[in-house]
Structure 1
Amino acid sequence: MRRVPNRCAPETLRRQEFSSSTDVWMFAVTVWEMFTFGIENPWSGLSVQEILKSLEERGERLRCPEYCPPSIYSLLLLCWSLNSNDRPKFSKINSRLNQCRPIQYRVTRDNKQINQLTLLRGDTVSVFDSSVDKPIWQGQNHRTQKVGFFPRICLSSTTTNTNEKISWPVRGSFIHTGHSDGTGQGPSWGKIDKIDETILSNPIVTPVDTNERNENVQIEDFPVLVSVPDDELLKSIESKSFTIFGEVFGIGGGA
């Protein structure tokens, strides 16, 4: 029996079964490695039997990399479902990744605080951990390709993405009242302050697809299996820059 890589799905490790579902599992491991900058080896030092016991008996999964957005990690966990039928198809993965694209902002105020991401006015930042109620955000500076935390007040109030983040309709309903640029002076449509009575009396409601976009997605509480960093690789990247999202989404880039 030929040996298969440790990154393979459980059914591949156990029975050497290969399918589109096992490809999905390995794809998720590859994405995980990208967000660790390639310095961590999945299930390093474990035998096949130890990996299977970790996955199947203890329910462990690879930990969320430090710079991996929660929305991406939740997708990886879906791809690592033990039941191959529960793993998303690649078409769904493609759709989810497009929804997870980080929002890009222009920097309007320098940030040179110690232990924070250095920003200069005019820089472009991909933000992947943000919340309107948090003063500190996390993202990547396209100019330096560094990742870190910074005050959100350093960014412009509008995004540089061509497809800006907008509100989503009520789940399962086509009711969507309108949009405005927020100033009342720019392009807008519909009535954002109320829903027309004719719409309320005749709502078009469809079954909810639980796999569709969910802004409040909760990451399932899997135990995490700590992987082992490769010391040589860790040393080799200390003087290099990486574009995390450039590999996954095709954005960013070095100066």
Structure 2
Amino acid sequence: MRRHLFVAGTAAFTGLLLGLAATSGAQTVDGLDLAKVRARAKLSPQEAEALTNVVARRGEALRRDAADNAASARAVAARYASTKTSGDPAATFDFDGMVAASGKQMAPEDAPRLLAFASLSMPSASLQAMIADVSRAGGVVVFRGLPGNSARTFTTALAKVLPPGEVKAAVGIDPRLFRAFDVEAVPAYVVTATDFDLCDGFDCRTTLPPHDRMDGNVTLAHALDTFARGNGPGARIAAVYRARLGEAQ
């Protein structure tokens, strides 16, 4: 069985989605004080259940947003496909021109086509930087699954690396994306040029969209710069994400 994944709205995956706002002061989400969670780095059963409920509700809302914006996503993909880039390797790279042209195809609310594959086993500093940068740029950080099938373990570990400041952390859990892009090691960054069909089962294979990918412990800025200047399928979209990241810093 196959289910269509529309890369539209805020962060549309049919897996578990988290949209967590990390702030420097005391902040609550449906009664859960995330600042205290970070301070203790340990969730009570009641807090874990509350956070899990928030995740479930927000994930459902994001899925509805994805369906509502499907037509918009297809239109953006069509406009991108109709745009041709120069194949001359000696041509001068016009980053500003690329951003301007791509911005007409990809409005801020159209995203995310930037996927950052992560694991809780990554060094805390690296994971924290990834979540902060990817969230600022408008992408999504994807995890393979819940460690030990425990939502409490996941949320406790995640609370330790949520970046400080006014950052909306876009974090998702979807093992199908790991299978689709054959991600065996993290971190890895992917920028896709179009939306795509995401395979639900183990007996089918996802047809990947045109995309650029980089594996290894590099910064998001480095990955996006490389994609944008590489004239690959994700170059124009990567340039837009790079501009967003620069504006947010």
Relative CO higher for 1 or 2, CA cutoff 8 Å, sep ≥ 6? Answer: 2
TM-score (norm: length of structure 1): 0.22
| Bigger helix fraction | 2
Structure showing greater radius of gyration is 1
